[in-house]
């Protein structure tokens, strides 16, 4: 709170089994730390895939924007994820390791 950072809980159920690209959910999509979608073939680290899904859940859950605007995107350490599932990688200088996320809110205009 001191730094203006809010924390919200997002239900993690199936986030590491759901493909963050196509939405297909299956237990066999994940094997240990590896994620590979059986439907579309998307591959990534399972925890990173889960972080993208958690970000998408947060964005979609808050699209009504009753408190000053809906969040537009979640910044993962390696780039930005928008509510439509689009992803823009960060430039090499600002990319950090990890999966911490933060969001910004749209306040009109």
* Predicted confidence pLDDT, tens digits, the chain (109 residues): 787 767 778 888 999 999 999 999 999 999 999 999 999 999 999 998 998 898 888 777 766 555 555 555 666 666 666 666 666 776 655 444 444 444 444 444 4
Task: Please check whether residue 101 lies inside any domain of the structure.
Answer: no
Closest alpha carbon to 78 in 64, 68, 70, 88? 88
Task: Please check whether residue 98 lies inside any domain of the structure.
Answer: no
Q: How many domains does the chain have?
A: 1
Residue corresponding to tokens 């958690």: 54
pTM, whole model, 2 decimals? 0.62
Containing domain of residue 75, as a range?
A: 1-90
**CA 93 from centre of chain:** 21
Task: Please check whether residue 4 lies inside any domain of the structure.
Answer: yes
């Amino acid at each position: 709170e001191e730094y203006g950072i809010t924390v919200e809980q997002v239900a993690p159920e199936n986030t590491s089994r759901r493909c963050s690209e196509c939405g297909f959910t299956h237990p066999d999509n994940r094997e240990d730390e590896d994620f590979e979608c059986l439907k579309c073939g998307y591959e990534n680290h399972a925890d990173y895939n889960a972080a993208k899904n958690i970000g998408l859940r947060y964005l979609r859950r808050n699209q009504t924007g009753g408190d000053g605007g809906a969040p537009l995107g979640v910044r993962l350490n390696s780039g930005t994820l928008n509510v439509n599932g689009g992803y823009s990688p960060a430039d090499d200088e600002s990319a950090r390791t990890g999966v911490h996320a933060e969001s910004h809110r749209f306040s009109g205009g």
